[in-house]
Amino acid sequence: MQKYILSLLMLMSFGTRISAQGCVAIRTVGGLNTMEHAGMMHDGMHEGMKEVKDSSKWDLNISGRYFKSFRHYSGTTENTQRVTDGTDVRNFSRTMDVSLVRKLNEQWSIGIDLPFVYNERTSLYEHVSSLKGSPRFSTYSQGLGDVRVSVYKWLIAPKAGSKGNLLGGLGIKLPTGNYKATDVFHTSLTATRVGPVDQSIQPGDGGWGVTMELNGFRAINTAWSLYGNAYYLINPRGNNGVSTARGGVPTAAAIKYTSDVMSVPDQYLLRAGTNWTSNAFTASLGARFECIPASDLIGDNTGFRRPGSVLALEPGANYNYKKYSFYLYAPIALKRERPQSYPDILKTNDTNVFSRGDAAFADYSINIGIGYKF
């Protein structure tokens, strides 16, 4: 019976962006952020002690992701009045990822992931007025996101009779996505100006990055198994210099606390859960944690970002037919948090008044896809 490490979804949050669904910009950087499962890209899948040969050299995956973020959080507290008053910011994210992996030999494989995005953001405060009852306008972005090229190696290779495997990956995230996308902002009912769209819907972040990942699997018996995934994107660049003033002039406070330009943040993702497999069908249930940290592992933390995290319950299903696999996952947010950002901390230390912005999150995301081996 084939055993699978089930697919990682999207920041992501992806974000990047569940992701940390929404304004917290966990970007999708190709595929579902990691290898679809740790059982892919090798010659033999095993069924108990019986080895099932698979001579496929290529693995193609095409997946789609959708979410709507609108619930505003500051810390772990939801600002419920935003939805009640109709002043909430709403992000609609639609992503299609195309990933192609080539097996080089029994130990090594290489892959490329291409994300294509179409984002919409509708708000009051970015346009005429932030007051209740003001007209609501939208901004959009679309195109290729940040491409990722990765190399994978079996740290514990799958083989007949073994109960587990572990796949490691190291990659480069290229700044192929447009991080300076612009659209029209309404300064009044009759006047407009053009400026960069919000960071949360920019197709790219403008930085070169390094990705690290682990994908693990452990069989319990012929029906039940465990999976685990870890992914981290290191973005050394501090900020990308793109203005956050939406075509206007940044305030003196924004310049003072560095939030006048967009940051290029790190992001990470953790997953763990259990699978139940019957013939060609696998159902899964696990936990998923996505995060945009307030500080990066390498580089400075200047610039505007909305740090945040989402802990989600992640049900999923996978069906295999010959060389095809079909999968559907829908993480449901359990806990959302928006901590202080670096500019928030600078402002707090300068004024001795606690400062923390908010961020909008989604209740859930929908991820659906198809894979093909050839």
**Within a domain: 1:** no
User: What pLDDT score does 45 carry?
Assistant: 37
Q: What is the Cα–Cα distance from 223 to 227, expressed in whole angstroms?
A: 13
Task: State the DSSP string of 311-332.
Answer: EEEEEEEEEEETTEEEEEE--E
Count: domains in the chain: 1
**Within a domain: 92:** yes
Q: Which structural domain range is residue 147 located in?
A: 44-373
Supply 339's token pair: 């901590």
Q: What is the CATH number of the domain that holds 355?
A: 2.40.128.130
**Within a domain: 281:** yes
**Within a domain: 37:** no
**Within a domain: 34:** no
Residue 348: strand, helix, or coil = helix
What is the band of 345 on the pLDDT scale with cuts at 50, 70, 90?
very high
pLDDT in tens, 144-175: 999 999 999 999 998 877 889 999 999 999 99
**Within a domain: 33:** no
- Residue 11 and residue 30 in contact, taking contact as beta carbons nearer than 8 Å: no
pLDDT in tens, 101-114: 999 999 999 999 99
b/e burial code for range 99-123 (CB count within 10 A of at least 16 → b): bbbebeeeeebbbbbbbbbebbbbb
**Within a domain: 176:** yes
At residue 13, does pLDDT exceed 90? Answer: no
Return the number of other C-beta atoms located less than 10 Å from residue 323's C-beta.
13
**Within a domain: 10:** no
pLDDT in tens, 238-293: 999 999 999 999 999 999 999 999 999 999 999 999 999 999 999 999 999 999 99
pLDDT in tens, 49-96: 344 456 889 999 999 999 999 999 999 999 999 999 999 999 999 999
